[in-house]
Structure 1
Amino acid sequence: MGTRLRVVQWATGNIGSRALAAVIEHPGLELAGLWVSNPAKLGCDAGTLCGLPETGIRAVGTLEEVLAIPADCVLYMRQGTDIAELCQLLASGRNVVTTRGDFHHPPRMDPAERQAIEEACAAGGSSIYSTGSSPGFVTEALAIPLLSLSRRLDCLTIDEYGDVSTRNSPELLFEVMGFGQPMAAFDQSRADHVKADFSASLAQLAAGIGLEIDEWRAFGEYSPARADIEIAAGPVQAGTMAAQRVTVDGLHRGTPRLRFRANWFVTTAITDAWQLRESGWRIRVEGDTPLDVGITFPVAPENYAAFTPGLTAHRAVNAVAAVCAAPPGIRTTVDLPQVLARLEA
């Protein structure tokens, strides 16, 4: 780590802005460039866009401008994944760390897209890695050492809890997510969307530990409020939807062996016995070395929106050094060395 690695930040949404600030402040990284999609941000100083002093690095808006910047790595955090764009970055010799979930388990990728990415990595001597907090940290980086204590695994269950009662976003909660609406059948397409990302991450874990999975299944459920409540976004009446969860199961011979369950709720006072907890994760290992691990976030509600982007952004920033040192190709948490955070002395 004697030489600072040059990094281009690609996009400045909630996650990208936090990653940008982390790169600027990181002792082992140097901000080399910044790509933005919003025309209003073009030419703006990178520091200004993330609440830090000016850096002298101005935002650009084209791939060609990024390719003209000497860099070791691109932190790719745009909306959507552009395979052709990534292939040009990788073929130019720039490694990529992304919070897009497309590369958690290469065998599950579209064969043509995987081949194109692998060929670009070979041409540029570069590598690409998908990571984040969930999927990523909780489904891979945390699960791997927990399972290192076991010799027989009956089932790994990861529960993710999201209490959104303090979020003052009526359109998101009531119209998009459906809280406070009459009970109805769960939209299976939403469950399938969650399955796409999380089954890929868990499939990487299964392959790494030699666990055979025959089928991936996902389903969603709603639960109503037991009483009228008032949340930051407005009222939720008794009998209307107050909690929802999506379960992704990896099965072997019909029995769940790996399970991820996303629980979103505005109150724990619901009709069904879902054992909801405060926001965070619960990881249970059932087997010859049973474990029950809980993680919560001791953050005041008013600071929550400012805190959560770091959960995803910081792991990606911390992974840059390991990815730059890795052999060319699509890299995974299973084959990379442990990601270490290099902090200020």
Structure 2
Amino acid sequence: MGNARLKVIQWATGNIGRRALRAVIEHPELELVGLWVSAPDKVGRDAGDIAGTAPCGIAATNDVQAMIATDADCVLYMRQGTDIDEVCALLASGKNIVTTRGDFHHPRSMDPVMRARIEEACAIGDSSIYSTGISPGFVTEALPIVLLSLSRRLDCLTIDEFGDMTSRNSPDLLFNIMGYGVAPAQFDQRKIDYVKHDFAGSLAQLADAIGLDIDEWDAIGENSAARHDVEIAAGTIKAGTVAAQRITITGMAKGKPALRFRANWYCARDIEHSEWELRESGWRIRVEGDTPLDVHITFPVKPEDYAAFTPGLTGHRAVNAVAAVCAAPSGIRTTVDLPQVIAQL
């Protein structure tokens, strides 16, 4: 790449987007050339001010057309919800996209109309788009590919994700979106379909790569109530209300589980389902087959630093993928067909 830096637009500045923005500003081989924001009070502010760095001379805007007209190699697309019209316009303008949205992990299982529109935009702009992040993404694609490179027979891959929410001071997220603190019978089961969409798509990419034929994808959602009142950073979880949830996505092959992702997310460990295994935040990845493995990943971070640490888990991989996506052929790209994402520190 020589001395030429890749020109990047950051699209949205939530927790993850703001961390990605800072990473772009500080990256030795990337140049921030634009910043799109959704919040009116951020419009006009310097990107460095929003990211928590020194001013960099790039003012935030909510003008989509201005960003489409901006000369850039890549857009880091991290807004709430995927706007297909917006995405297609960016791709058709010649800009590659790396996104933390989970809509593009497995092109074959995408809505056919949506897929056709995206592929047409990529063809017009000679551009590519790639979905990644930590989960789904790294832990459901990049890491299993490496682990399974040791195997010649796979009986079952199980990924358990553990998420301790007790130190997360996000009342709206925990109580209104994720459904903690409500009566178990009032728990919104629609979130199971949301989790299934993203994680089944990611695991289906892995299944295709290793030649595994999945007959069907099952999704099961469970919740468990707190046995006592619990005070967490976001508020109070009353006894008898939802304090933990477990969502399991399973790919069945010939009537047996072959690929499994299980989200174990909780605001308390003293719950009615005392048999549930609720570990500290991280993952346990088990490979059952001719080369069995049991991998444990945790985060050696102080509780008070946790909220500041976690956005980087998702945002940094997206930033690190920019160069590979910009160099890739046009179209919907995946972890399988991209070269390994390597950080340039």
TM-score under structure 2 normalisation?
Answer: 0.94
2:101 corresponds in structure 1 to 100
Distance 2:298 2:202 in 1: 22
1:78-157 pair list within 5 angstroms: 78-157=79-158
Change (3 A) 1:29 1:234: closer
Q: Deviations over 1:216-235 (max 9, x none)?
A: 11111122334554433445
Q: What residue is the counterpart of 1:280 in the other structure?
A: 282
Which of 307, 328, 331 in structure 2 is aligned with 1:329? 331
Distance 1:131 1:205 in 2: 13
Match of 1:258 in 2: 259
What is the rounded CA distance, in whole Å, between the counterparts of 1:167 and 1:101 in structure 2?
23
Q: Provide the rounded CA distance (Å) in 2 between the counterparts of 1:43 and 1:235.
A: 38
Provide the alpha-carbon RMSD of the alignment.
Answer: 1.7
Aligned residues of 1:11 and 1:35 also touching (Cα < 8 A): yes
In structure 1, distance between residues paired with 2:189 and 2:267? 21
Amino acid at match of 1:250: G
* SS of residue in 2 equivalent to 1:37: coil
Contact 1:129 1:332 in 2 (8 A): yes
Match of 1:103, SS state, is coil
Counterpart-to-counterpart distance in 2, 1:341 and 1:246: 32
Question: Which structure 2 residues correspond to residues 111-260 of structure 1 after superposition, within 5 A?
Answer: 111-170=112-171, 172-184=173-185, 187-236=188-237, 238-260=239-261
Matching residue within 317, 338, 341 for 2:340: 338
Cα distance, 1:319–1:231 mapped onto 2, change above 3 Å: same
CA gap 1:338/1:172 in 2 versus in 1, 3 angstroms: closer
Q: 2:216 is aligned with what amino acid?
A: E
Q: Distance in 2 between matches of 1:175 and 1:69?
A: 37
Aligned residue in 1 for 2:40: 39
Cα 1:116–1:275 change in 2 (3 A) is same
For residues 261 and 333 of structure 2, the distance between their equivalents in structure 1, rounded to whole angstroms, comes to 22
Amino acid at match of 2:18: S
Cα deviation digits, residues 164-211 of structure 1 (max 9, x gap)? 122344554445444344433754322111101100000000001110
The Cα of 1:35 is off from its aligned counterpart by 1.0
1:331 aligned partner, one-letter code: R
Q: SS of the counterpart of 1:162? A: strand
Q: 1:279 to 1:54 in 2, by over 3 A?
A: same
Whether contact under 8 Å (1:227, 1:237) holds in the other structure is: yes
Q: 1:293 aligns with which of 292, 295, 300?
A: 295
**Cα separation, 1, equivalents of 2:232 and 2:89:** 47
CA distance in 2, matches of 1:79, 1:183: 27
Q: Structure 1 residue runs of 4+, over 6 Å off? A: none
CA shift in 2, pair 1:4/1:170, >3 Å? closer
1:320 — aligned with what?
A: 322
Match of 2:16, as an amino acid?
I
* Cα distance, 1:151–1:326 mapped onto 2, change above 3 Å: same
CA contact (8 A) 2:11 2:76 kept: yes
Give the direction of change, closer, same or farther, for the CA distance of 1:109–1:43 in structure 2 (3 Å limit).
same
> What secondary structure sits across from 1:338 in the alignment?
coil
Report if the CA contact (8 A) 2:179-2:188 is conserved: no
Q: 1:186, 1:221 within 8 Å by CA — same for their partners in 2?
A: no
Secondary structure, in 3 states, of the residue corresponding to 2:184? coil
3-state secondary structure, aligned to 1:308: helix
Contact 2:229 2:236 in 1 (8 A): yes
- Aligned in 2, Cα 1:154/1:94: closer, same or farther, shift over 3 Å? same
Could you tell me which runs of 5 or more consecutive residues in structure 2 were left unpaired when the two chains were aligned. none
**C-alpha distance in structure 2 between counterparts of 1:167 and 1:289, whole Å:** 38
Deviation at 1:37, TM superposition (A): 1.5
- TM value normalised by structure 1: 0.94
| Paired residue type of 2:129 | I
* Alignment-mate amino acid for residue 75 of structure 1: L
3-state SS, counterpart of residue 44 of structure 1: coil
CA contact (8 A) 2:119 2:332 kept: yes
Q: Secondary structure at the match of 1:184?
A: helix
Letter in 2 for 1:337: P
How high is the sequence identity, in percent, across the aligned residues? Answer: 71
Q: How far is the alpha carbon of 1:87 from its aligned partner?
A: 1.5
1:23-62 matched pairs, under 5 angstroms: 23-62=24-63
Cα deviation, residue 328, structure 1: 0.7
